[in-house]
Amino acid sequence: MSTLEIKDLHVKVKAEPEHPEILKGVNLTINSGEIHALMGPNGNGKSTLAETLMGNPRYVVSQGDILVDGQSIVSMPVDERARLGFFLGMQYPAEINGVTNAEFIRAAINARRPDDDQIPIMTFLNQLDATMAQLKMPEDMADRYLNQGFSGGEKKRNEILQLMMIRPHWALLDEIDSGLDIDALRIVADGVNSMRGAAFASLIITHYERLLDYITPDVVHVMKDGRIIETGGPELAHTLEQTGYEHLKAGDGHD
Amino acid sequence: MIKRLPMANTPKIPLARYMKEVKDSAKVPPMAVSAAAGISVRHPSAAAGFPRRISLDDWLAAAPQQITELTIPAGYHSAEPVLVTGPANGGGLLLIHVGAGAQVALQERWPSGGQTLGVGVQVDVAEDAHVDWLTYDSFQAKMVLVSRTAALADRATLNWTLAGFAQNSGATLINVNLRGTGAQATVNVGVLASGTQHVGYTTAMTNYGRKSKGHINQRGVIVGKAHLIFNGIGHIIKGARGSDNQQENRVLMLGQDSRGDADPILLIDENDVTAGHAASVTRVDQTQLYYLMSRGLPKALAQRLVIRGFLEAGLLEITDKDLKADLFKQIDETLVNPDGK
């Protein structure tokens, strides 16, 4: 059992210190075993929150804290956070030439294991084959260069493949549903659902209720203008689908 | 009687200064050749067969310089590479004649040490012949001047990859002359420069023949205090109608004190042609690094993978697994120790 606490989090873009904060005091607590959905209109800080939790060096925390079981991780670099259990399924994963998908995923798994206990190659390949089959990915995607020339949908599946292979504790999923058709969405959702358990928690960012029909969240939050303005159960997502975000009160901060 | 030959066009590379250096005078054995029966190997005593076009050719051909001459007969056909290796401590001249319709794989390796070396290579490819040529420069010498020229007759094709993973400073001139109608060549160059190396590559592709096609693709990674210059010269001669000349020169700088240049030059003397160039000098892509690290890879490993990927685009044609593994190992070692051995 683990707890992720976000306390009064204020965030800026590092290269633009003169610009206003993107996050203006976010408070959120996620416990192991829970799935939280983060909804809200574009450009209101959802992705910034996910990137800040992961440790993207583009962003800087100007106030507040992020705690895992009471320990601050704000000064921890991205790779250490990953090894601590964070995973960010990205909207636009980078393409990397010359590094095969399989080689990369194996390196990611081994980075979490001691040097004298690396994953045996056959164990790894069997796991990879089974997981790819579950996600209905063609076998040759293991040997293709990382995300290189992948379609939008293939990239999303590949993010979920990594999620399932790495088995992180805290999965931050940033619009993994965008650009997926209904069949692909179901497959991706099944993948995430298969991760559910006492040693897994997730923060799922989405615009649409559609994804939440397949992955039922325990808690739904709405973010607007850099703050969480509403929190509720799964029914909140359905309400929002009918009413939109417009009627919700804007944050009362001033830029 | 010494006729004064013109200087080569090598922007930003101090070739004249390099040529003031005196070549090592020790007599060394000629290149070692491993070739199938049917391929003739000679070691002529005079450098008469080595073409002199620029002043550098005279410098290269000046004694003592051993000559190795290979003749691949017309119609020769084998995937087994002809392996030619430079001497342990010296340069040399290499002449290769590829007969009409032959299909051959050449591997040229230079692990040579010494102070100042000269290497001259001339490959003539006759009509309809196809050559896969792999050059692996891993010189341990201090300074090396290299000139390699390929001339292609009608419909001849050349697929050439040069891996420059050497310790030396100096210059490498690469000339591909598409003499015949429909001749086609691709030159891929992948260079890793480190320590205090100061190296320049001038890769020229010249279309003489109609409907000839030439592509240059140069990739360089610079670490430590090294300086790497990539010149690409695409030249379409008047009369080479329907020909195509493309080039790409890309340099990735890692060290704070690394320096890189990528200079494309296009000289077009004919109208009915296509030509293009792309060039960039960049630092490591932070988005790629972040992505790899966000999966738990430590920074050093993430950096190694990004660089490998970048160079890979220049070394794509290398199918020799051992050689590729060796190159990757060198990349890893160089990044651990960027200031040289």
**Average pLDDT for chain B:** 93
A24 assigned to some structural domain: yes
* pTM more than 0.95: no
Q: Which residue from A126, A53, A61 is spatially nearest to A84, judged by alpha carbons? A: A53
Asked whether residue A50 is domain-assigned, the answer is yes
B288 → chain A, closest CA residue: A94
User: Of B156, B173, B243, B233, whose CA–CA distance to B208 is shortest?
Assistant: B243
Q: What pLDDT sits at residue B52?
A: 92
Q: Kindly tell me if the per-residue pLDDT of A227 is higher than 70.
A: yes
Q: What is the pLDDT of residue A106?
A: 96
pLDDT of residue A253: 40
DSSP letters spanning B46-100: SGGGS---SHHHHHHHSSS--EEEEEEPTT-B-SSPEEEE--TT--EEEEEEE-T
Q: Do A82 and B313 touch (CB under 8 A)?
A: no
Output the DSSP codes for B94-146.
Answer: EEEEE-TT-EEEEEEEE---SSEEEEEEEEEE-TT-EEEEEEEE---SSEEEE
- Is B291's Cβ below 8 Å from some Cβ in A? yes
B41 touches chain A (CB under 8 A): no
| B204, two tokens | 């020229």
Average pLDDT over residues A233-248: 85
Q: Count how many domains chain A has.
A: 1
Express each pLDDT in A165-217 by its tens digit: 999 999 999 999 888 889 999 999 999 999 999 999 999 999 888 899 999 99
pLDDT of residue A146: 95
Q: Residue A255 — pLDDT band, cuts 50, 70, 90?
A: very low
A178 located within any domain = yes
Greater model confidence, A145 or B63: A145
Q: Do A96 and B287 touch (CB under 8 A)?
A: no
Residue of B nearest to A159 (CA): B295
**Mean of the per-residue pLDDT values of chain A:** 93
CB B176 within 8 A of CB B150: yes
Amino acid at A152: G
Asked if residue A126 belongs to a domain, the reply is: no
Strand, helix or coil at A165?
Answer: helix
> Percent of chain A scored above 90 by pLDDT?
85
Check whether B119 has a pLDDT greater than 50: yes
Q: Quick check: is A185 in a domain?
A: yes
Contact A78 B291 (CB under 8 A): no
Give me B288's structure tokens. Answer: 């790629």
Please report which helix (H) or strand (E) contains residue A13, including its range.
strand A3-13
From the list B293, B309, B311, the residue facing A79 with the nearest CB is B293
d(CA A3, CA A6) in angstroms, rounded, equals: 10
**Cβ contact A97–B298 (<8 Å):** no
pLDDT of residue B175 exceeding 70, the answer is yes
- Give the residue among B199, B144, B149, B206 at the shortest CA–CA distance from B174: B149
The pLDDT assigned to A251 comes to 47
A101 inside domain:
no
The residues with which B112 forms a beta bridge, in sequence order, are none
Confidence of residue B306 (pLDDT cuts 50, 70, 90): confident
Residues of chain B neighbouring A79 (CB-CB closer than 8 A): 293-294, 296-299, 302
Does residue A180 lie in a domain region? yes
The parent domain of residue A35 ranges over: 3-93+166-243
- Under the banding of pLDDT at 50, 70 and 90, the label for residue B330 is confident
Q: Cβ of B309 and A111 within 8 Å?
A: no
- pLDDT of A254 reads 38
Instruction: List B residues 297-316 in contact with A (Cβ-Cβ < 8 A).
Output: 297-299, 301-302, 305-306, 308-313
Residue B340: the pLDDT is: 63
Please tell me the distance from the alpha carbon of residue B89 to that of residue B104, in angstroms, as a whole number: 28
Which residues in chain B touch residue A54, judged by CB atoms under 8 angstroms apart? Answer: 294
CATH number for position A197: 3.40.50.300
Q: Is residue A45 part of a domain?
A: yes
Spatial contact of A214 and A220, defined as CB atoms under 8 Å apart: no
Report how far residue A156's alpha carbon sits from residue A145's, in angstroms, rounded to the nearest whole number.
15
Mean pLDDT calculated for residue range B262-281: 95
The pair of three-digit structure tokens given for residue A92, joined into one six-digit string: 């636009």
- How far is B70 from chain A, CA to nearest CA, in Å? 35
Percentage of the residues of chain A whose pLDDT score is greater than 70: 97
Residue B199 has pLDDT above 50, yes or no: yes
Check whether the bond before A93 is cis (ω within 30° of 0): no
Contacts 24+ apart (CB under 8 A), B51-55: B51/B122, B51/B149, B52/B5, B53/B5, B53/B6, B54/B5, B54/B6, B54/B7, B54/B8, B54/B147, B55/B4, B55/B5, B55/B6, B55/B7, B55/B8, B55/B19
